[in-house]
Chain A
């Protein structure tokens, strides 16, 4: 989707401000949002692509006005409501109960579940899945798709309808555009594609500043085959 999250190349944002000795979290609730979100992932309540799309669907004005973990909170509530795990009314009621000093939830002691949740933060997720063989090889010149899909995609606007060169063939990875929408994992070839800055930004491009994106084969069509190989 052409959302506010798709910020690469936008003008108007100022200097990058840094904070010396920044704490891991700026408030305790930020850490808890991260922990809850990780725990939900370990329970497979939503996948990574649904979770990204959950943030992308925030109203642009809210997205811009929110901090990072505020967006995470908005997303986590939104997805859990959509999936029927909780309701907004239930959440409001629980907030009122807690504000009154009462937490009616009994503790849930479950060492196996706890262990699984902790392991899930360390183990490699399985985004690499078997798929059809790649059509492109390193050195092929490709053209990116120039449409405007309404759903989730990882082809940013600044690189649509642009020429690039296949830099690396990464192998077959789960496809976010379908996995975010309950349409299956549909793993297929992922490539690192190199774009010359001038092909992205025209005359205002900085010299010698190529941008690399990891792009799925369905975002790409062949423009020119690599020297020395016959087209497939």
Chain B
């Protein structure tokens, strides 16, 4: 593995070759016992690599930005509202950023995360650093992410301790009035939906 890989919290007790062999052996046993279908693992991996990712959540956010009635339904019942757009598989609560209120999601006990909408969590979300510190010093953590909020702003931290997932609805940036829903969706980042980034106004040239 590259050095870059090791800088990001990937420490292994065993060599990768042994881990890889153990995983193959486990799958082989489960297939032999007819508990797992032969292609199942490939297909599940493929789904996470190709279909499930932040572009899904971004569509939900963009819809809420352009359609006030949808936004109302989304905030009232996230689970139902995302099904309107063809997403699901999760009990969801959407929390809205607005002037003076910023929301930020963590899971201190494991790494709960709204997979169906934003894919698998990045390594930093699962890191001991984020899990330990996000609840105790959110402002310091946010500054490390480049988000500096005024002292007067309330930061609401959502520690995902149950089978209910959280998605942050970021504020729609100024200068996006003429943009289409699809263009808006392209601006919405994974980190903004976790609440460790803001969606920035587009550069004048991009308008």
Contact = CB atoms under 8 A, between A and B. Distances in A.
B141 to A, nearest CB: 6
B156 to A, nearest CB: 6
A24 B163 contact: no
A208 B8 contact: no
Nearest to A76: B26
Given A17-B7, A85-B33, A6 B120 contact: no
Given A22-B122, A67-B9, A67-B11, A38 B161 contact: no
Interface in B60-119: 79, 88-91, 93, 106, 108-111, 116, 119
A123 B89 contact: yes
B122 A73 contact: no
Contacts of B164: 170, 173, 190, 214
B88 A43 contact: no
Given A67-B10, A108-B34, A154-B161, A16 B39 contact: no
Contacts of A214: 160-162, 164
Contacts of B10: 26, 67
Interface stretch (A87-95, A132-140, A221-229): A87-95
B123 A19 contact: yes
A18 B111 CA distance: 16
Contact of B89 (A122, A154, A192): A122
Interface string A99-126: 1000111111111011001100111110
A63 to B, nearest CB: 9
A95 B144 CA distance: 43
B3 interface: no
Given A73-B22, A91-B29, A108 B37 contact: yes
Given A8-B132, A16-B133, A27-B16, A154 B109 contact: yes
Contacts of B130: 16
A103 B37 contact: no
B204 to A, nearest CB: 25
Given A16-B127, A16-B133, A5 B30 contact: no
Q: What 7 A-B pairs come out closest when comparing CB atoms?
A: A8-B108, A35-B41, A214-B162, A127-B163, A105-B32, A94-B25, A114-B37
